[in-house]
Chains A and B, each alone.
Chain A
Amino acid sequence: MNKGLKKLTKRNEPYIFLVVLALALLIQFRSGQFFTGNNLVDIASAMVVPGLFAVGTFMVILSGGIDVSFPALASLTSYATTKMLLDAGYTGGIWLPILISLSLGAALGAFNGYFIGFLGLPALIVTLGTSSVFKGVMQGALNSVQLATIPPGMQAFGTSSLFVASNPLSGLTSRMPVAFLVFASVLLVSFLILRYTFLGRGIYAIGGNEVSAHRAGFNTRRTKFLLYVFVGMMASLAGLIRTCMMQQNHPTNMLGMEMNIIAGVVLGGTAITGGTGSLTGCMLGTLLIVIVENSMILIGIPTIWKSVFVGALIIIGTGVSAWQVFRANRVAKVRFFRKEVPTI
């Protein structure tokens, strides 16, 4: 085995990729509908919102933290944005809603970031708390109800497409939403931040060893603060896109998504203790969850067995990566005992 290939087998991504591929083949075999243009577009389109959430969640977990408040944050910001623009009778394009959403998301993210970064409180407790606060503000202060219509600019953005894929056999067509571009750009920006800025390397460093990161000269507090601001912005963007794509805003139907998103990120090989993981793995994990969630009928799993099957797939997926990590560690341990002293 050559060196590059050997390195690949120690990583988690190829295994998740194989699981995704196996699932795809199973769906193809059961329905003949997986590898069709419109189905692939459907999956890409279904990926947008969970994908945006997953990017944020990935970065937080990478830093050794956790965020369970993003669905509430997204619900609150998208509701507030939509409601505000409806009340104002806004008829312009998508940029203003995006701008408002991002600012609200940054503000709420800063709220998380202040408590976690500057006051050093545990991320889980803080975000559980803010999750409640966000929901409370939405339902109490804003007295939220379902918004059946949204401003025309958002409506247009939600239905506009990059291209339409059609299936020559069934004639079914699927739109690739313009929002996918947003998702792709966020992915690119996140990749660049993580790989080519010291802010991004700081996130890895803090996840690896926070004390060392501080000693090395990272401003750990500011890094964490900025991280949660960024995550707040990603979540609010996801919330807005979801509202646009659904053509209406329902204040509560994103709540509860955090578990599947976190599961997807961890499935993709991100260590829940922080420090290790890759964006590729995170996306593969999320893709797996999205496919599973949206393919039960295609596979032909009876509705009542759906939860069991979804759960089983998550366990198998995580199991594969856990087994892989376990194997890698065992190899490392044996090597450690056998190791020669370094020659100097």
Chain B
Amino acid sequence: MPESLLRAVGIHKSFAGVHALKGVDLTIMPGEIHCLAGENGCGKSTLIKIISGVYQPDAGVLEFNGKSLQKITPIDAILLGIQVIYQDFSVFPNLTVMENLALNSELSEKHKLVSWKRMRSIAQDAVTRINFDIDLDSIVGTLSVAQKQMVAISRALMFNARLIIMDEPTTALTRREVDALFRVILQLKAQGISILFVSHKLNEVFEISERFTIFRNGELVRTGQTSELDSAKFTYYMTGREFSEQKFIPGEIGKEPLLEVRNLTMRGAFEDVSFALRAGEIVGVTGLLDSGRSELALALFGIRKADSGAILVKGKGAAIRSPRDAVRHKIGLVPEDRLTEGLFLPQSIADNLIIAEIDRLAGRAGVFDREKRAREIERLVKEFAIATPDPQNAGQTLSGGNQQRVVLAKWLACNLDVLVLNGPTVGVDIGSKHDIHGILRDLARQGMGILIISDDLPEVIENCSRVLVLKAGKIVTEMDADHADEQRILAHMM
């Protein structure tokens, strides 16, 4: 049996009484792509921080390359060849690519003075290693998410990395960008570098990893060869629950469209888009990142203005020039990036829930009715099963799935006719994803019209009665759920 690169046995870690890791094990072989999966809060982030020296374990053994690690600092970990690529990439948005790449190595060599020439050559070497084509002088803040990730990966490679830990690296990437990332990962593997790939996306785990480890509630549930795994098992290990995967069967579908879009055009984003959405329907819109799908969502909600075409609500022309207009026509939007667009993170969960219906909660003379507010909050927390000890906690204390539920609940509190969701389950774990899909299906059966804009093809296929495919701003095809499968949709998208 070959010597393992990293071996963690019986790792315990508690924070202020919360037992985050209850004796977990993890073994990574040299040059292997290992997937660490688990729902939010399962302890995988804590383990990563222990491996990279940010936290010290309370108990357990940690070995790297045959050496036992006791009390390591982040710098020690880097020197050992352990690199973490965080979800936020830990880049400096205000600095150039060159500085982002070179700072770490310059600091670890304890240089006090800057040599711009040396920095440039370090940065140049770093990007050439993965054939990453970029202007070293561009400011990182202006790059795309995928490019920032490549900057982070290039940076990680400079320290003779033996193990690269990627924390949910595909969250904000398009399908094409994920493919590019996977190519880089395979390239790294070929160079003998081990990859710990943290993800909860089933298809990615299958596609890229050789072995997997799954945590749940701070415990090791299963570790083994990915080839032994199937979708049902994976989901079960992750959540401890069995989900029956079945396609959405709509209830009664209305005759007249709730929302109709005719020849809608926004220059540079989409053109001549027409479709109708009836009560009880869930319609999917899918396409690549640059297909104009996000702009379509924004146009339907009045954040950006279409140049021509018409939006009809219940058969009547509606001028939607602002989110206020959209809400007046009973259209809601769950935005793409719930963190920056859909939630007031530092505000309480309670306030986030009722923000959209704040007018209705006012008593006489526009004064806030406190009791009414409290009742409404209680109702929403219960109905949407938002897991929080206290609705007065800040929105940012919730996990991704629960945050998404708050965004949903916020809109549903206003009795909408039409709900537009842009990437409704991006960054949400499997359990919450199922719950959110369940909520959407219930809503549709109750007579709401739902438009899901997403590039998560299984999500679209499973939940929608019809799928529209956008390519370069135009609807290229429309298919019934019965006839839709991933291959066919992909063929139209690309």
Contacts and interface: CB of A to CB of B under 8 A. Distances in A.
Interface of A: 195-201, 204-205, 207-209, 211-213, 215-218, 271, 274-276, 332, 334-339, 341-344
A205 B142 CA distance: 16
A342 B132 contact: yes
A209 B141 CA distance: 11
A211 B132 contact: no
A208 B184 contact: no
B111 interface: yes
Interface string B76-99: 001000000010101111110001
A335 B78 CA distance: 35
Which of B91, B95, B99, B146 has most chain A Cβ within 10 Å? B95
A334 B304 CA distance: 13
B290 interface: yes
A204 B93 CA distance: 10
Given A209-B93, A339-B144, A339-B290, A201 B133 contact: no
Interface in B181-213: 183-184
Interface residues of B, number: 42
10 contacts: A195-B114, A199-B112, A212-B90, A218-B107, A332-B142, A334-B268, A337-B269, A339-B290, A342-B146, A344-B184
B462 interface: no
A198 B290 contact: no
B74 interface: yes
A196 B104 contact: no
B398 interface: no
B147 interface: yes
Contacts of A336: 144
B107 A216 contact: yes
A229 to B, nearest CB: 17
Contacts of A195: 114
Given A334-B268, A341-B174, A198 B112 contact: yes
A344 B150 contact: yes
A344 B174 contact: no
A208 B94 contact: yes
Nearest to A62: B94
Interface in B206-235: none
Contacts of A274: 94
Interface in B90-137: 90-95, 99, 103-104, 106-108, 111-114, 130-134
A208 B107 contact: no
A215 B90 contact: yes
B180 interface: yes
Contacts of B357: none
Contact of B180 (A197, A201, A204, A342): A342
Contacts of B134: 342
Nearest to B133: A343
A217 B133 contact: no
Nearest to B142: A332
B176 interface: yes
Contacts of A205: 92, 95, 103
Given A195-B114, A197-B114, A342 B269 contact: no
Given A197-B112, A218-B107, 17 more contacts: A197-B114, A201-B99, A207-B94, A208-B93, A209-B90, A216-B90, A216-B107, A217-B104, A274-B94, A335-B142, A337-B290, A341-B176, A341-B180, A342-B132, A342-B147, A343-B133, A344-B180
Given A197-B112, A198-B112, A336-B144, A342 B95 contact: no
Contacts of B133: 342-344
A276 B92 contact: no
B75 interface: yes
Contact of B103 (A216, A271, A338, A344): A216
Nearest to A206: B92
Lowest 9 CB-CB distances: which A-B pairs, in order? A275-B94, A208-B94, A208-B92, A217-B107, A212-B90, A196-B114, A276-B94, A341-B176, A332-B142
Nearest to B107: A217
B131 A344 contact: yes
Contact of A198 (B91, B111, B131): B111
Nearest to B106: A198
